[in-house]
Structure 1
Amino acid sequence: MSTVEHLLLGPPTHGVTHHGRSVAGAHRVSLRHVGPGARDLAATLRSGQGDVHVHVTDHLLGDDADAIALAVGELATTARPVHLTLHDIPQPAEGEPRFARRRETYRRLVDLAASIQVCSEHERDLLEEMTSRPVDAVVRLPVDVSQLAPSRVTRRMQVGPVGALGFVHPGKNPGAALTAAARIGRGLRLLGALGPGHEALFEELQMQAMQAGVACTVTGHLTEKRMDEQIAGVSVPVAPYRHISASGSIGRWIAAGRRPVVLRNPWVEELARHAPWALTVVDPPEFCDAVAAASENLASTLTGGRRDGLLTTEQAARTQAEVLEVVSRA
């Protein structure tokens, strides 16, 4: 049995932190929340012994480029073997100089890591293109389908808004979701909290909605129970994300028994190969028409609680543990 200690970095509401807690909890391994920032993580690493595993995205390491660079430098000073699962891998489509800045951060993380895991084949390919080191394992994002997934269209869905899920920031492309909602005369409900520093984005969305004569609302952070309640009242679930390497938000729709309309990208196509029934995949020019078609056939937004082709959290935890067992003894 591996003695790797699992450390949680970041606020509990962050998707990466939540994912790490769920996977570690499913395998009942040693788990410790070290705090919200990289300095807390570095202090923990300096004070202990033995191998550790951490789920990391650069946004959990600091609020800006300088803070992130300093954090990575501190992590590199620890003598403990640090096994990383990296999330939100940089990709050229983000544009320069953002991609170049993030690429350098991830290269440094790869250099200091005892082993590397990612959550999709797409992430593996992206990471291996920017470094000379192969990824040790791909452990797909799990999707635990609810036993309460709806089997039929409800009145709430019939009168409900279009819904987009997760932290609200430009990368989630909420403007496209609002445009599609406005074209069919429905409002847009954003199921999640505003990303830090993106208050102006929501003001722009509200102005756009007002001009179109529809509502645009944001729920703020939701508990899992409240999220299920909100999802049940959405007419058409959407995820018009442009640059994702894997997405827990899309998985959350599927877990609740909903089939979102999503934009085609490498990770979406990867998920669709495993579970083609779970998504309506379209190219950007087709997005508004696809949302309109789904609104006329709301049954097309339900999965009926299917789960074939998906990985459960228990399966992901078992795979992760097996990988760490091997790499921690190498």
Structure 2
Amino acid sequence: MPTSRDSTTMTAVSPADPPALLLTGPARHGVVRYARDVADQVRLLDPDATVVQVSDPAELVGVAAGYPRVHLHVTDRLLGRGPEEAAALVERVADVTRLTVTLHDVPQPSDGVVNLPRRVSGYARVAAAAAGVVVNSRHEALLLVEHDVVPADRAVAVIPLGASPASATAPASASAALGDAHPAALVALVAGYVYPGKGHDDVVRAVAVAADRLRAAGHALAEVAVVAVGGPSAGHEHDVDALRAEADRRGVDLRVTGSLDDEAFRAALRGPGIPVAAHQHLSASRTLLDWGEQGRRPLVVSSRYAREMAALRPGTLTPYAPGLLPEALVHAWRDPASTALPPGTDLAPTLADVAAAYRTWWAGA
């Protein structure tokens, strides 16, 4: 019997007819893309699985009414102008069908004193309306209990984010690309949207400190830079200007690639530089998988979630303690090979594992 893996266990898989999988939202949004990836893998396991693209979230209720069971990937930012509106929409869906949900972007302290209570209330309404709830990490499951989104005795399934089946093992190409790096260049790569709290500012400051330490040790650096692989998220264009001003003050060259197509994005991750994930409030990050799928081992600020991912995919990231990023950058600069995964590194669970785990869970949800 095939198996699927969550953060800590392997469980037997028994096939089950899945609910209708509803997809909605902008095609390039991370949650939407992941929901599509999972749905495609479910359909590979069961060609009769129903996948429905709903162009406007307002149409979800009418579409859901046509099926006895549906599953929806939920983030409040996709389903309404605020968590209250998103929760009301999900409640209406649950009124017309048996609804299960995967919760993304779960509430946590980084939401701030104003938004955290609103998001907690909204997600609590979503969880109460759903017949079953999935999250993508044990850290997220704990956050739901810690912030009273669900009661401690509510069963919440953990199905980790899955690697692309085509990237189930790390490629051999990344280590070769590192050989092209200028020996006197200190370049940090940060993947994903630019927005407050993502850690770009921490990386700029740390690169400046690391550069000073390397120069003090006698190394002449021809280039000191941070490359933001991606562009600002909607409404945060001014944050790039503030980040650039901070970089200029510290003698760091900031390069922002802007939005990239998939191949250009992957190529940027494989390129010369030290991969860094400095976001201190990660709770489920596709970015860590993006790095691994391109054969890179990123520096990742230590947290409960980072420790969980280090245990799930051993050897695929290099944790550093908060405040010690300059030291981690110096070490990585001295040992570029430490930022590349050995070819063939196992990146499981894959999306195929995830799809199998969902089918097992739906059988009892």
CA gap 1:42/1:192 in 2 versus in 1, 3 angstroms? farther
CA displacement at 1:53 relative to structure 2? 0.9
Whether the 8 Å contact between 2:277 and 2:298 is mirrored in structure 1 is yes
Separation in structure 1 between the aligned mates of residue 23 and residue 37 of structure 2, nearest angstrom: 11
Corresponding residue number in structure 2 for 1:27: 42
Q: Which residue of 2 aligns with 1:161?
A: 187
Q: Which runs of 5+ in 1 are unaligned?
A: none
Q: What is the rounded CA distance, in whole Å, between the counterparts of 2:90 and 2:312 in structure 1?
A: 36
State the secondary structure of the residue aligned to 1:319.
Answer: helix
In the TM superposition, what is the alpha-carbon distance from 1:199 to its structure 2 partner? Answer: 0.8
Answering whether residue 123 of structure 2 is matched by residue 114 of structure 1, we say: no
Indicate whether 1:227 and 2:245 are aligned: no
**Given residue 159 of structure 2, which amino acid in structure 1 is its aligned partner?**
V
Q: Secondary structure in 2 aligned to 1:60?
A: helix
- Matches of 2:33 and 2:63, distance apart in 1: 20
The 1:317–1:268 alpha-carbon spacing in structure 2 relative to 1, beyond 3 Å, is: same
In structure 1, the residue matched to 2:278 is: 240
Q: Which residue of 2 aligns with 1:103?
A: 120
- 1:3 CA drift (Å): 4.2
Residue in structure 2 matched with residue 171 of structure 1 by the alignment: 197
| Distance verdict in 2 for CA 1:149–1:105, change over 3 Å | farther
Is the 1:142–1:311 Cα contact (8 Å) retained in structure 2? Answer: yes
Identity of aligned residues (%): 30
1:149–1:271 distance in 2 versus 1, CA, 3 Å = farther
Of 257-266 and 155-164, the range deviating more from structure 2: 155-164
1:60 aligns with 2:64: no
Partner of 1:312: 350
TM-score, length-scaled by structure 2: 0.82
**Where does residue 51 of structure 1 map in the other structure?**
69
SS in structure 2 at match of 1:188? strand
Instruction: Provide the residue aligned with 2:22 in structure 1.
Output: 7
The answer to whether the 8 A contact 1:272-1:278 is kept is: yes
CA distance in 2, matches of 1:157, 1:230: 16
Please identify, of 86-95 and 309-318, the stretch whose mean Cα deviation from structure 2 is larger.
86-95
2:338 corresponds to which of 300, 306, 313 = 300
- Which deviations, in whole Å up to 9, do the C-alpha atoms of 1:32-75 show, x marking residues without a partner? 2213x5324334334x2221111111221234x3xx31232133
Q: 1:11 to 1:157 in 2, by over 3 A?
A: farther
The residue aligned with 1:87 is: 104
Q: How many residues in Structure 1 have an aligned counterpart in Structure 2?
A: 322
Please tell me whether Structure 1 or Structure 2 has the larger radius of gyration of its CA atoms.
2
SS in 2 for 1:304: coil
CA distance in 1 between partners of 2:296 and 2:338 (Å):
9
- Separation in 1 of the partners of 2:328 and 2:74? 34
Distance of 1:83 and 1:239 partners within structure 2: 31
Q: Does the 8 Å contact 1:182/1:212 carry over to 2?
A: yes
- Quote the residue 1:210 is aligned against: 248
* SS in structure 1 of the partner of residue 258 of structure 2: coil
Q: How far does the alpha carbon of each residue in 1:102-137 deviate from its partner, in whole angstroms, 9 at most, with x for none?
A: 111110110111210111111111113312262342
Contact 1:166–1:191 (Cα < 8 Å) also in 2 = yes
| Pair 208,127 (structure 1): closer, same or farther in 2 beyond 3 Å | same
Query: 1:96–1:164: structure 2 CA closer, same or farther, 3 Å change rule?
Result: same
Q: CA deviation at 1:306?
A: 4.2
- CA deviation digits over 1:4-39, x for unaligned, max 9? 11111221111111111111111213222213x532
Residue 359 (structure 2) aligned to one of 296, 299, 321: 321
Q: Distance in 2 between matches of 1:135 and 1:169?
A: 33
Q: In the alignment, is the contact (CA less than 8 A) between 1:162 and 1:181 conserved in 2?
A: yes
In the TM superposition, residue 275 of structure 1 has moved relative to its aligned partner by: 2.6
Q: Which residue in the other structure is 1:150 paired with?
A: 174
* Residue 312 of structure 1: how far off its partner (Å): 0.8
What do residues 266-321 of structure 1 show as CA deviations (whole Å, max 9, x unaligned)?
Answer: 11010112233111111121112211221221111011234336311111111112
- Structure with higher RCO (Cα < 8 A, 6+ apart): 2
User: 1:19, 1:171 → 2: CA distance?
Assistant: 22
User: C-alpha separation between the residues in 2 aligned to 1:103 and 1:18?
Assistant: 24
